Amino acid sequence: MNMDKKTYQKYADARAPRSPMGKNCLNAFWIGGSICLLGQLLHDLYEKLCHMSDEDAGTLVSVSLIFLAVLLTALGVFDKIAKVAGAGTLVPITGFANAVVSPAIDSHAEGLILGVGAKIFTVAGPVLLYGTLAGTAWGILYWIATLL
């Protein structure tokens, strides 16, 4: 059966399952919002009960959310939440923590050096690299603009 690209696309579209976009968006919204709400509750707790400054509480919230994401990833719970939430778990800092930890857990059997060490940043590495490069380029442009 020889088909051109246009005919094949129609054929594939007709047989592909439809994604429940409204439901997916709602799940991403409420689960991502719940993660952010947890962050705000932790911030208020650290600030009020531990008498921390706003900046220190914010730092500890980031550390706490990263720790929880790593723990849930190691227990296999984070992936189940992400299946329902989609991008709702990707956007907050928890998604980045999961992206770093998942390859490390998957490659643990290969050893600490060639497994975990070599593959820990396979997903997050490009984000770090190009984020750093973009930030550096923007900083240089900003610095040049302030000289003028």
The percent of residues in the chain predicted with pLDDT above 70, rounded, is 98
Q: How confident is the model at residue 87 (pLDDT cuts 50, 70, 90)?
A: confident
Total tally of structural domains belonging to the chain? 1
Q: Is residue 131 part of a domain?
A: yes
Domain range spanning residue 89?
25-147
Q: Which of 81, 56, 86 is nearest to 71 (CA)?
A: 81
Q: What's residue 148's pLDDT?
A: 84
| Residue 2 covered by a domain | no
* CB atoms closer than 10 angstroms to residue 133: 10
Q: Is 9 inside any structural domain?
A: no
pTM to 2 decimal places: 0.70
